[in-house]
Amino acid sequence: MPELPEVEIFKRYLDATSLHQRIDDVDVRNAYILKETSARELARGLKGRRFESSRRHGKHLFVRADGELWLRLHFGMTGTLQYFKNDEQALRHARVLFVFANHHRLAFDDQRQFGQIGLLKDVDQFLKTRALGPDALDLDLAEFRKILGKRRGAVKSILLNQQLIAGIGNIYADEILFRARMHPATEISHLDDQALTKLFRATRYILEKAIVAKADVKQMPKSWLLPHRGKGGKCPRCGEKLRSAKIGGRTAWFCARCQKKR
C-alpha cells in the first residue's frame, strides 16, 4: 500500500518522464477511480495542456498542468505509475492513460481500484477541506511535539491519523516504532519530551531512508523490521519471534522484547 516513500518515488518517476509534453488524449478505461470528475471532464480539462510540475503531500500526488489545473492522484492499495510506449509493455490494470504527443503514455495502473484521480483548481483548499495534517517530512520537532503532545490514544493510531500527520501508513508506522523501541499500543500521553523527540527522529530517519532505498524492501537494511515482518519472522535485533496485534483496526508487527509499553 503506497505510503509517503512510495508516493515520493512515484513523484520522481513522473517528474523524470512526463513533464513538459503536450497531452494529446486522456484514455479512461475504467471510470471507477475518477472522483468528483468524469472521463469527459478529465479529457476536456487536460487535452492540449502539459504537466509542468508536481507536489506531494502525505500520500497524495498533485500534478500541475499549465493553466493552473491540478491532477490529483491517490494510490489507494495497489496504485502505481507506468510510462511506456508500446502496448505490450503495458501493465495489466491500467485504468487511466495520459497520451503524450510523442506517443508515449503515462498509465495509472491500479489492480484493486482503491486509488483516486481527480481534478482541482486549488491544492491548499483541497488539503484544508480534507483536514489533512502537515506532511510527515515537512514537520520540525517543535510542530511534531505540538501536534502529538496533547493527544490521547495508542501511539500507532496517532501516527496513522492523516488529519494529524499526513503520509505514514501501516508499514512505516511499525518500522518507526521498531526503531524508536516503542510498543505500538503505548499510550501517547505517557511519552515525555525525550520520548517524543526520539519518535520524531525515528519518523524522519525511516521515511528518508526508505526513499533512498526507493521504497523497495530488497534495498532496505536487514536490521529493519520490514524484511522480517510477518508470520515466523524474527526480530533482527534480538532474535525473538515477532508478534502481531490489532491496534487501531490495523495489524501491527513488533518485537515484544525490544518494544516495551511505557
What residues line the site for Zn ion (CB under 5 A)? 235, 237-238, 240, 255, 257-258
**Least gap, CB of 192 to Zn ion (angstroms):** 23
Residue placing its CB nearer to Zn ion in the complex, 232 or 249: 232
Residue (of 45, 42, 71, 65) closest to 53 by Cα position: 65
**Least gap, CB of 179 to Zn ion (angstroms):** 12
Look at phi and psi of residue 212 and say left if phi exceeds 0, alpha if psi is from -120 to 50, else beta: alpha
**Least gap, CB of 206 to Zn ion (angstroms):** 17
Q: Is the four-CA dihedral 164, 167, 170, 173 of positive or negative sign?
A: negative
Q: How far is CA 224 from the centre of its chain?
A: 19
Residue 22: DSSP 8-state: B
Residue placing its CB nearer to Zn ion in the complex, 14 or 235: 235
Q: Are 72 and 119 in contact (CB under 8 A)?
A: yes
C-alpha cell of 217?
524492501
For the annotated catalytic residues, the residue numbers are: 2-3, 59, 250
Q: Are 253 and 230 in contact (CB under 8 A)?
A: yes
**Least gap, CB of 242 to Zn ion (angstroms):** 8
Residue placing its CB nearer to Zn ion in the complex, 96 or 247: 247
* Rounded-to-integer distance, Cα 254 and Cα 239, Å: 12
Q: Which residues pair with 80 in a beta bridge?
A: 109
Residue placing its CB nearer to Zn ion in the complex, 43 or 258: 258
